[in-house]
Chain A
Amino acid sequence: MPFGRLLGPALILAAWWGASAAGLLDPRILSGPGTVLSTAVDLVEDGRLQGNVLVSLQRAGLGLLLGVVTGVSLAVVAGLSRLGEYLVDGPLQIKRAIPSLAMLPLLILWLGIGEDMKVTVIALGVAVNMYINTYASLTGIDSRHVELAEVLRLSRLRFVRRVVIPGSLPGFFVGLRLGVTSSWLGLIVVEQINATSGIGYMMFQAQQYAQSDVIIVGLVAYGAFGFASDALVRAVERRALSWRRTLAG
């Protein structure tokens, strides 16, 4: 059945609509869908939504970029040299056991409560995800393919380009999808800490004035970006890994 998966969400939406129309919902607890929609329009018209979304996207994007670059660089160092593995892998496996958000107090102490701290928290979570998965796929490169490269006397450069990079790309994309998710998670947390802009700030403000409609607009914005970014990564992954024959298609 086409769009069968939308049935559940549609029913929830209908129940919400019905309950608020029947006056069963206190607007301070949960505004009706109509109110949320008109609030969203108002927020767009006075520019508050776009402005905050832009700030949030910048933070998440910058954190993601830094995290991907750092995580992949460390994975390459650890994955392609024995010394690098000894130096890098241990600390990162320990770091992996400590949630990035638990580092928050220390990072605030070091970096203050400004943008530096916010981007660093996001980047840290992303980097660990990128590292773990990229490193695993680098060290897991099929030894038969390494042997083939040796038989064909491939140069180091060609070996990396033709065997190492394509072979570790699936792991890279697993890391990237987890990294994108973790960048949104980090964003939500850091935007609650002394922020003066961003979707999280907007929602935090609304909480103090009991504006549940604004909070829901913020939630929808987070959800939309989470969904869109994951879909984007998957589309890129499908293109890059088009040689793979998977059951998912």
Chain B
Amino acid sequence: MATYPGGLTATVPAVRTRALVRRFGDRTVLKDIDLDLAPGEFTALLGRSGSGKSTLLRAVAGLDHGVEGTGELRVPDRVSLSFQDSRLLPWLRVLDNVVLGLHGPGARRRGLTALEEVGLAGRERSWPHELSGGEQQRAALARALVHDPELLLADEPFGALDALTRIRMHDLLRELYERHRPAVLLVTHDVDEAVELADRVLVLEDGRISLDLAVGLPTPRSRRDPRFQEHRDTLLAALGVIQPDSPGTGAASPDHGRRDTGAHPTGRPVGRTPADDDPRHGLHEEKSHAPHA
């Protein structure tokens, strides 16, 4: 049994990577990623552009043929991926899009149930272009859920939505997650989204996991909660967006949780403090979630 930073325990992780490396030409985008995601764990993956988060997601999704790489990667049988765009086929009606990957009798029945769950009951005969952006993403979620995934991968699924629609989609995703309990790996660049939705937040920096943060707040989460703010500041500091607060104000140092500060010879923002030896609540060193059986 292993205990995951998100607070879950399980014998076999849903996703397991060891020394995962991915290279594009001379550029090593993923450097020795060791990662375990527990079954049913909601994890958000944060990182600046070029940090390698999309590369990691595509590797886990098995969409990176032709990319040079090494390492061990284990994923469950039933994996669904939700893209940044809804990626509905414009020539199929909504229900046909949802059941596109399903076979056998009962496919339509399952598709209708999934559409009902995402709040699109009665829209099964619509064309994708007749739906709003938020509705298209709902349909895409239904298409992902209809496979009853053990692992749901989501690549910035709300990035193209307006702010109000995004709030509603957050609620929907969290609700669906709590009902179906797949392991979730959500790639996002939105720190608030990560803290609001995920139970564990990873920060990817320069091809390595630089921070592994357990959120540990009850849901639904309020952004006014001081602990929410604390997590937010920790993550923003880790992303180099804000200066870390001086000791004693309650925010953690961004370098805390790093495995090896020497591993980041390039691309470091100026004004960062060196590694802080003071471990704080909610932060985990990446190595701390080994060993696994």
Contacts and interface: CB of A to CB of B under 8 A. Distances in A.
Interface of A: 144-145, 147-148, 150-154, 158, 162-163, 166-167, 169, 241, 243-245
Nearest 9 CB-CB pairs, A to B? Answer: A152-B101, A166-B91, A243-B91, A151-B81, A148-B87, A245-B129, A243-B127, A243-B90, A152-B100
B149 to A, nearest CB: 11
A11 to B, nearest CB: 42
A154 B91 contact: no
B156 interface: no
A79 B20 CA distance: 36
Nearest to B130: A245
Interface in B73-114: 80-81, 83, 85, 87, 89-92, 100-101
10 contacts: A144-B85, A145-B87, A148-B83, A151-B80, A162-B92, A162-B100, A163-B89, A166-B89, A241-B91, A243-B127
B2 interface: no
B126 to A, nearest CB: 11
B89 A144 contact: no
Nearest to A245: B129
Contacts of B163: none
Q: Which of A144, A145, A151, A245 has the most CB of B within 10 A?
A: A151
A152 B61 CA distance: 11
Nearest to B140: A148
A157 to B, nearest CB: 12
Contact of A151 (B63, B85, B92): B63
A138 to B, nearest CB: 15
A244 B127 CA distance: 9
Contacts, number: 40
B89 A151 contact: no
B58 to A, nearest CB: 9
Contacts of B87: 144-145, 147-148
B155 to A, nearest CB: 11
Given A148-B83, A148-B89, A245-B129, 4 more contacts: A144-B87, A152-B101, A162-B100, A167-B91
Contacts of A154: 100-101
Contacts of A152: 100-101, 143
Nearest to B79: A151
B89 A145 contact: yes
Contacts of B63: 147, 150-151
Contacts of A245: 127, 129
A244 B63 CA distance: 29
Interface SS of A by simple majority:
helix
A153 B129 contact: no
Nearest to B127: A243
Contacts of B129: 243, 245
B196 to A, nearest CB: 26
A147 B90 CA distance: 15
A151 B127 contact: no
Contacts of B85: 144
Interface in B38-88: 61, 63, 80-81, 83, 85, 87
A187 to B, nearest CB: 34
A167 B143 CA distance: 20
A153 B100 CA distance: 10
Given A144-B83, A152-B100, A154-B100, A244 B89 contact: no
Contacts of B127: 243, 245
Nearest to B61: A151
Q: Which of A144, A162, A166 has the most CB of B within 10 A?
A: A162
B244 to A, nearest CB: 39
Nearest to A240: B91
A145 B129 CA distance: 16
Nearest to A154: B101
Nearest to B85: A144
Contacts of A169: 91
Interface string B112-139: 0000000000000001010000000000
Contacts of A147: 63, 87
A214 B127 CA distance: 51
Given A150-B63, A151-B61, A162 B90 contact: no
A145 B90 CA distance: 10
Nearest to B90: A243
B65 to A, nearest CB: 9
A145 B85 CA distance: 11
A169 B269 CA distance: 51
Given A144-B85, A151-B81, A244 B90 contact: yes
Q: Which of B61, B91, B129 has the most CB of A within 10 A?
A: B91
A147 B101 CA distance: 13
A245 to B, nearest CB: 5
A122 to B, nearest CB: 31
Contact of B101 (A144, A153, A244): A153
